[in-house]
Amino acid sequence: MRGKAIMAALALAGCATMPPASPDGAARFEWFEYSGGDPVDARAKPGPGEYRNPILQGFYPDPSITRAGDDYYLVTSTFGYFPGIPVFHSRDLTNWTQIGNAIDRPDQLDFGTLGLSRGVFAPAIEHHADTFYILNTCVDCGGNFLITATDPAGPWSDPVWLPEIVGGIDPSLFFDADGSAWIVNNGPPEGTPRYDGHRAIWIQRFDPKAKKMVGPRKVLVDGGVDPAAKPIWIEGPHIIRKDGWYYLICAEGGTAEGHSQVVLRSRKADGPYTPNPANPILTQRDLPRGRPDPITSAGHADFVQLPNGDWWATFLAVRPYRGDFYNTGRETFLMPVDWSGEWPRITAPGQAIPYVAARPALPPQAKPAVPTNGPFTIREEFDGAALGPHWMMMRNPRETWHRLQDGALVLTARAAGLGDNANPSFLARRQQHRDVSASTLVRFAPAKGAQAGLAALQSDEYWFALAVADRGGGREIRLTQRAGPDDPKAGRIVARATAPAGPVRLRIRAEGDRYHFDHAGERGAWSTLHADADGKLLSTARAGGFVGAVFGLYAKAGDQ
């Protein structure tokens, strides 16, 4: 089993000629095209010397950033998706290229049958003495761990587990000027929690040579910056040092519309820490909810210093299309840190996060080959040696079920389905815009009960699937949806039509919360199978969890 799992990871990483687990029941996808934009694009166009927010659109939450010389590296959460923890590189903080994934071998972690919003939470990246460190929590799959690399593109080490962080999440690493190191993390408070969401920030020394925590553990923050107000979910801690002060920055208020960033400071790394009297230093909860083109739920920031002394912050926020509904998940934003006073500040009270702002004082970099923001169209021809690192699957593979062959992506139809809390034959990329078209061409002769096509998915319980499917020995175009755990795992059939002969084109179009499903032969006009489906079932508000929607290609065998 271990050998098969490693073979599957190699196929995703670049071994395109590897044979599938089974030569039967394969679906051949000739291409995949994603095209998207947002209404705000017409009004928020970066000019010379400006950049666009979010810097990473779509499901890229909990960003952490580090600098190594003139290079910047950023990681985000991926929860139950594999490969996990994308690693991005930039030299100007605004144009980012994904150079790999820190969790790219199935035997590094085991997501098993976890829900997609479990797994790897809030990675924190740090660079020190020619080594890159990522601290992370595998929720319900092992706890807190450390991985290291000399090249941030990989390979990254197997996890070194940190059992001292009992019940904790969000660990991050701080190296002091003398080379000593500390780990801070969110954890349960001492004694019995006083209310739901009562957490604490802990600190403990770390030995980087032995790669283990040493000495006593200590609480730095109990509850939050104002314990009398019963603050919830103090988390995502980072320590930075500036002008003889140690600044502890944390998220507070939960990851919904009450989210914020707060700061405390001390003359020693292990405290005691005094909160900023003007907290929070970042939030959007003080703005009117009905404002146009809102950005909400901002927090979970990390700081980085530029060679000229400027400081910048990456953080997460969301862009609802209505109320608190958004399908794109929590995204990565960038803003300067204002140190004009005694304390750092990202947004002033009542200040909206800008879609367009002045660039950092760094030499501009070329646009990445795979765009990460703004309106764009990208077409995957599957004619390279490997899939790009932005492609993901649900949980770790345990057998080889996909390959690139003769300019196509070939998926083996297997028993695992989209609703099975398993590792189905499904490869996806993130939805990065409110208004989207995702399309493909598939060649598929389904065996009894089999299907293959295009899916829009938020979790095992919430998805749409548009497929070429078997129907009594013939072929049909079938739209299936699952709108919650009470629906069958295989979903409910919403619409069906006779399939054209030969290859079939499939397309899903999103316009805010309206999703439309089209099909066509290899050439000719599109026909709409079903229009105006309620796409809010792919939103965080409806489906819950911490991920965003993805579009992907899938194949499923019949139930025997």
Q: How many CB atoms lie within 10 A of CB 357?
A: 17
Compute the radius of gyration of the chain from its Cα atoms: 23
- CA–CA separation, 17 vs 29, rounded Å? 16
Query: Which regions of 424-526 does DSSP assign to beta strands (E)?
Result: 425-430, 435-443, 451-459, 462-471, 474-483, 492-498, 504-511, 514-521
Query: Where are the strands (E) in 223-330, listed by range?
Result: 235-242, 245-252, 260-266, 274-275, 282-283, 296-305, 311-318
DSSP 284-309: STTS-TT-SS--EEEEEEEEEE-TTS
Half-sphere exposure of residue 121: CA atoms within 13 angstroms, side-chain side: 23
Of the listed 62, 104, 164, 302, which one is catalytic?
Answer: 62
For residues 393-418, b (16+ Cβ closer than 10 Å) or e, as one string? bbbbbbebbbbbbeebbbbbbbebbb
Closest Cα to residue 348, out of 390, 287, 293, 269? 287
227 by DSSP, 3-state: which? helix
Check if the beta carbon of residue 223 is closer than 8 Å to that of residue 246. no
Q: What is d(CA 426, CA 412) in angstroms, rounded to the nearest whole number?
A: 10
Tokens of 551: 């579009």
Phi/psi for 14 (5° steps) reads 160, -5
62 assigned to active site: yes
Q: What is d(CA 295, CA 356) in angstroms, rounded to the nearest whole number?
A: 13
* Euclidean distance between CA atoms 336 and 361, whole angstroms: 11
How far apart CA 61 and CA 77 sit, in angstroms, is: 6
Among 104, 235, 252, 257, the one annotated catalytic: 235
Q: Which two tokens stand for residue 190?
A: 């001492």
Which residue's entry shows tokens 């991920």?
547
- As to burial, measured by CB atoms within 10 angstroms (0-12 exposed, 13-18 middle, 19+ buried), residue 474 is exposed
The Cα–Cα gap between 182 and 172 comes to 8
- Give the residue numbers marked as catalytic: 62, 235
